[in-house]
Structure 1
Amino acid sequence: MRKIFIGLLATMMVALVGCVTINVYFPEAAAQKAADQFIGTVLDRAAPAPAPASSTPPPVKPAARPSAMLLDLLVPAAYAADVPNIRIENATTDAIRKRMQARFNSTLGPLFASGAVGFTHDGMVAVRDASKVPLSQRAQVNATVAEENRDRAALYREVANANGHPEWQSKIQATFAKGWIERAPAGWYYQDASGAWKRK
């Protein structure tokens, strides 16, 4: 009887371990912070100031509960830091940032200010009112918007890939879309979720 009970218990433990899946959740707050820093360097044309050093000691982690320790013995642990970090800076994203800064300084900034272009709800840029641009310059404006959107698509893809989660690309893009609109100066245009143009 005891052997049957131990065998049944072992079978249940194996089944339990086999049914446990570890989900990797998208760290939205960390992604928004990283996106805001990147966006700030493009829109504000200056790198963000380093955060002041804190003299407060790091918080002490609470002791693990016994049930958690037992589960850790049975299932390989996938620990993450208390505050997940999103890597956004590498050689590729740095090159994209520099191109975006140059484009913003030369042509996109004035186009946003005039209302000719605006931010779309999906983190891209679109020509909003072509009549604000002289006819002779419209082809160049369309080309500039296309270049900007290529860089934006590459940025969102690269950030997802650099963090080891290509499946996060749409979430990274949505995070940036929100950030571009929030950081836009008053008077600039953006699209709401339905695609309607609004002015900040």
Structure 2
Amino acid sequence: MRRWMGMPIAAALALTACVTINVYFPAAEAREAAKEFVDKVIGEEGQPSMPAPAPEDQDSGGGGMALHFDPLMLLGIGTAHAQGTPDISLKTPAIQAIQARMAARFDGTLRKHFDSGALGFTGNGEVAVRDASKIALPDRVKVNQAVAEQNRDANAVYREIAVANKHPEWESQIREVFAKQWVASAKSGWWYQSGGSWKQK
């Protein structure tokens, strides 16, 4: 009988030893990093960065330091969170090399086609040809190649930022933050995709 009575105590002790580690995606730091990166690629001629979402918006998608109810607290089991907020670092040689290539390509080829309305930013953080008729026929191959290279570099930087910060699972969230920042930093008159359709800023 005593052996059976001791089992609930042992189970409770085992549960107490289970401490979960939650590392939240640092959304505010990611927005700051994205603004720094994007402004260096396209210059600082665009509009100010998009404001941070209201606190209630940060409870979705795993972003931000959302408050939540932990049922294990009723059993006296605490949930351990990583101490401090992870930084989103852009200082690796790989990221800085990609940034330099993207900035040179933007100034050398892409900017004038954003100005003309031929190109626009997509909803997934890439560049797309919106209206090929606005690109002179002799330039179309060069522009299409530049767009493909820009997108390859953009995808590489989203992945590299996540890996460099030791959280490869953050790649999709970093892409989402960057997609919004390209639009936020775009000049008035440039085009971007929203809800599957093109809109002019």
What's 1:116 paired with? 118
What's 2:95 paired with? 93
In 1, Cα distance between the equivalents of 2:43 and 2:109?
15
Percentage of identical aligned residues: 47
2:31 maps to 1:32: yes
2:19 maps to 1:16: no
State the Cα RMSD in Å.
2.3
In 1, Cα distance between the equivalents of 2:97 and 2:158?
14
User: Residue type of the partner of 1:91?
Assistant: P
What's 2:151 paired with? 149
SS in 1 for 2:22: coil
Correspondences of 1:102-141 after superposition (within 5 Å) = 102-141=104-143
| 1:71 Cα deviation from its structure 2 partner | 5.6
SS in 1 for 2:152: helix
| 1:9 Cα deviation from its structure 2 partner | 2.7
User: Residue type of the partner of 2:187?
Assistant: P
Give TM-score, length-normalised by structure 1: 0.78
In 2, Cα distance between the equivalents of 1:80 and 1:98?
33
Is there any run of 5+ residues in structure 2 with no aligned partner, and where?
46-72
SS in 1 for 2:90: coil
| 1:24 Cα deviation from its structure 2 partner | 1.7
What's 1:79 paired with? 82
Q: Which has the higher contact order (CA 8 A, sep 6+)?
A: 2
| 1:151 Cα deviation from its structure 2 partner | 0.2
Is there any run of 5+ residues in structure 1 with no aligned partner, and where?
47-66
What's 1:53 paired with? none
Greater Rg over alpha carbons, structure? 1
What's 1:197 paired with? 198
| 1:10 Cα deviation from its structure 2 partner | 3.8
In 2, Cα distance between the equivalents of 1:146 and 1:155?
14
